[in-house]
Chains A and B, each alone.
Chain A
């Protein structure tokens, strides 16, 4: 008897969400799956410079578009059940399984919602390997990366705007730090601040972290380990009061300040500020 021939033996129709774009930030490619062609184009524009269709994704995020929620964006709520993180804000709802490194998000076609989900996913992945995202501008000069941390108003935008032509800006808002053995690298991110300029997609070995302070002159003042740890932890993007995650982030911060020079960078807002950054 002849075997029956089923089309399913010869091809498989992938669900629409399989289509999408792979966005690689910090050397971590994430496949953003969407069946909506317009939104995929929006993703490719939003993350231009970070789309890498040849990269093998290490994480996947299925995007389910819906009408905008009526609730305004509020503080993000992150909770964990086993290996699954649930992330909710007024404008989106998402889950991410840290074990399978896959998840989904339900949101409107708003790239800022996706930005928030990606930042949290990257934070969770980085926490497993001693890295973190930090409220900081960063740039590369002479193949060395410098990170400038500070809360809003500390001078991240100013120091970014003052960057000389031989410096490459990685970000003016959120810096991406990964550990590599006993050293650290800073990566460019598309998460822009007031400059509204996507960072450059490159990485460089981290030379120093500075806490920004505007002042009448330019000087670098070393900071002791405990003070550096306190200040760094205050600036790390941190989404959940989960004991395991807290311990990972805490350990990452302590390790970082033990290995990387940390100082206060008091700077006057003119071009001379970068004379000390070499």
Chain B
């Protein structure tokens, strides 16, 4: 199974406020608030780090969740974020993606 690479969309604005990640789409001005886990994945979505590595090194390290369950949930999450245009998913590393906001 090939891994997935996720990159934050450049057509969004994002800020942390009160410990919560808020994202606004520049396409349709819709607003989103991310959960703690979603925020960790979003921040690590640099287009170069495989999703499996993000889950293993960030999600499982910060949250008490089995790796297989975490990966399945992460897949669902990134699909949903991609559907809303605030994240892109690729089977290959994305060259011009923005770097992660926190080091892995």
- Which A residues are closer than 8 A to B by beta carbons? 224-226, 229-230, 233, 238, 241-243, 246-247, 250-251, 254, 257-258
Contact = CB atoms under 8 A, between A and B. Distances in A.
B76 interface: no
Contacts, number: 44
Contacts of B17: 225-226, 229, 254, 257-258
A201 B22 CA distance: 35
Interface of B: 10-11, 13, 15, 17-18, 20, 22, 24-29, 31, 33
A241 B29 contact: yes
A225 B29 contact: no
A85 to B, nearest CB: 16
Main secondary structure of the interface of B (DSSP, over half): strand
Contact of B31 (A225, A230, A251): A230
A226 B13 contact: no
Contacts of B26: 241-243, 246-247
Given A226-B20, A242-B26, A254-B22, A233 B11 contact: no
B14 to A, nearest CB: 8
B56 to A, nearest CB: 29
Contact of A250 (B10, B18, B24): B24
A166 B21 CA distance: 41
11 contacts: A225-B20, A233-B24, A233-B31, A241-B26, A241-B28, A241-B29, A243-B11, A246-B26, A246-B29, A250-B15, A254-B17
A242 B29 CA distance: 9
A248 to B, nearest CB: 8
B18 A238 contact: no
A238 B15 CA distance: 19
